[in-house]
A and B are shown apart, each in its own frame.
Chain A
Amino acid sequence: MIELENIHRTFQVGEQSVHALNNINLTINKGEYVSIMGPSGSGKSTLLNVIALLDQPSSGIYSLNNQIVTQLDDNQLAQVRRENIGFVFQFFHLIARYSAAENIEIPMILAGVPIQERKQRVADALLAVDLQQRATHRPDQLSGGQIQRVAIARAMIMQPQILLADEPTGNLDSKSGEGIIELLENLNQKQTTLVMITHDEALGSRAQRIIRLIDGKIV
């Protein structure tokens, strides 16, 4: 479902150009569990951002579900992103003034889902991440592990086929990190394609496939 062909991504920093992705060819099938590993600065985040359609490759072809998505305009990109991709960040990125439930609701608001349906789906999502008691709590009233669970619920609320996670446990202690990984793997069991960046060898090796990046190249 995810097909990357000769993907390059270069950043221009002053005079210098940084080749963050160097000729990436990669296919990820539906329901796969892939981890991306590599040293810092090797281009892991850049690759995930390209897959998430948050970043555009400098050259190469990316097709998602057999649709070439490298040439889409802003509105189409937003729609594809909204319907197909859930993203979990290292730094959570919850909106501080919103409660857990409201944070989870945001993608549905952007998609224009009617309010009745939203409430029901948020309740289900909270149940799925075992936070039904925390619906009205704001992020500063939640632990790191709980915050990341809210973020996962938010990423999954539009029922995307692909879940991308950039070091989802990078800011968590090992115990809550373990809980998050289990949650993600559970989602993978239910046919969600899971692509996760991690620095942790033990975590990375739990995936069906490990992609190793060095200097923007798959090795």
Chain B
Amino acid sequence: MMIQDTLSYSYMAIKTQPIRVMLIILAMSIGIASVTILTALGESARLYIVNEFQSLGTNLIIVLPGRTETTGGQPPLFGATPRDLTLADAEALYRSHHIAAIAPVSVGAAPISTKGLEREVTILGSTSALRRVRHLSLSKGHFLPESDANKALSICVIGQTIKDELFAQQQAVGKWLRINDRRFRVIGVLESEGQSIGVDFDDMVIVPVASAQALFNTQSLFRILVETKSKQGMYKAVDDISEIIKQRHEGEDDVTLVTQDSVVNTFDEILAAVTLTVASIASISLAVAGILVMNVMWVSVAQRTAEIGLLKALGATKGQILCLFLTEAAMLSFAGALTGVLLGKITLMALQISYPDFPFYLPVWAIFSALAVSLVTALIFGVLPAKQAAGMNPVTALNKR
């Protein structure tokens, strides 16, 4: 028996049972749709976060003051307030050959005002290297100039939101801005970043790091962002940084180094696990659909008993009968699965329209595995009815009407 004949026989048999077919397709498509949608949501969330982290900058190492690891032993009597990170620490890091750029960061909040408009914003002090390390782009003007980090210049770069709120339609570059009691000249406006994880550069004023330290009257840094020359150099750079800081902090390794890699990998793994779990839960609905397939196949076999007897009388083998009924079950499931994938796609498209900023993405492997799962379900649940059909005695089957 040829494949196209098997398919055509099964198709003809299915066609005579439209209502039952609709039911199976409905059940199967709901199962498949929920699996695909949930997988897509999980995958999209994973990709979104991984992307966001990658856009924070490549080959990035974040140096944080303080050690997050517990060292064990007796807790020190007077508390172990770690030594602060200073600008001098940051500059010292240039001794490592693996480091391409260093952006010291100092953060605080302060009121800013211009022409009577005033609001409280985050002030970020850094150097020209920040632009490179965090991949910032400007819509107007210039970023902080390359100059001595210790020089407290009265210039600032503002985010898009602040520009809109304080200057509206006017030209911002060249205007003066008051931060606390000091006047700063706006030299640039950042390009809007849109959705972003972590720091919202749109709602921020960037000033030279020394100016920020003066504003907040502190010598310490919030953190130091380091870009390494290459991905391979990352681990050597981490070692170098530890070593340099240790030397400068009297033998105390009192900083925490976070590589972007490790953060991304952690999120990647967590979200992949979440996706898998959610998809597995959704696949329970597939099992339900499978049971429905089995039920419909039992009815199909019972109704077509005489026909099975006839096929045997006309020379069909057990294997052929088995194949015919399995094909029927597989076709039903497959139709359901295709509908389900389509349903899932439509739902995702609707979601995409509702949330244009979030990139919904249905991985191709999810589509194929949905189809494969539905086929396997059909075969598992279809095999018992099909076996019953194949094992029928032709005479008894023929006499049943």
Contacts and interface: CB of A to CB of B under 8 A. Distances in A.
A74 interface: yes
B270 to A, nearest CB: 54
A95 interface: yes
B319 interface: yes
A26 interface: no
A106 B313 CA distance: 11
B310 A54 contact: no
B315 A89 contact: no
Contacts of A12: none
A107 B16 contact: no
A112 interface: yes
Interface residues of B, number: 27
Interface size class of A (residues with CB under 8 A): 20 to 34
A87 B311 CA distance: 12
A75 B319 contact: yes
A142 interface: no
A110 B313 contact: no
A121 B5 CA distance: 17
A73 to B, nearest CB: 10
Contacts of B306: 93
B315 A54 contact: no
B2 A111 contact: no
Interface stretch (B7-15, B20-28, B175-183): B7-15
A79 B315 contact: yes
In the complex, which of the residues A82, A97, A110, A154 has the most CB atoms of chain B within 10 Å of its own CB atom? A110
- Main SS of chain A's interface residues? helix
A68 interface: no
Contacts, number: 66
A95 B315 contact: no
Interface in A74-98: 74-75, 78-79, 81-83, 87, 89, 91, 93, 95, 97-98
A89 B313 CA distance: 10
Contacts of B2: 109, 112, 115
A75 B322 CA distance: 13
Interface string A123-166: 00000000000000000000000000000001000100000000
Given A109-B9, A112-B1, A95 B313 contact: no
Contact of A55 (B13, B16, B395): B395
A189 B2 CA distance: 34
A106 B12 contact: no
B315 A93 contact: no
Given A93-B310, A109-B9, A49 B395 contact: yes
B12 A110 contact: no
A55 B309 CA distance: 12
Contacts of B9: 109
Contact of A97 (B16, B315, B394): B16
Contacts of A195: none
Nearest to B318: A74
23 contacts: A49-B395, A54-B394, A55-B393, A55-B394, A74-B317, A74-B318, A78-B312, A78-B315, A78-B320, A81-B314, A81-B315, A93-B309, A93-B313, A95-B307, A95-B310, A97-B15, A106-B311, A107-B315, A110-B311, A110-B314, A110-B315, A112-B1, A158-B315
User: Closest 8 interchain pairs by CB?
Assistant: A82-B315, A78-B317, A109-B5, A107-B314, A54-B394, A93-B310, A75-B317, A81-B315
Interface of A: 49, 52, 54-55, 74-75, 78-79, 81-83, 87, 89, 91, 93, 95, 97-98, 106-107, 109-112, 115, 154, 158
Given A78-B317, A110-B320, A158-B315, 11 more contacts: A52-B313, A74-B317, A79-B315, A82-B314, A87-B314, A91-B401, A93-B306, A95-B310, A107-B314, A110-B316, A112-B2
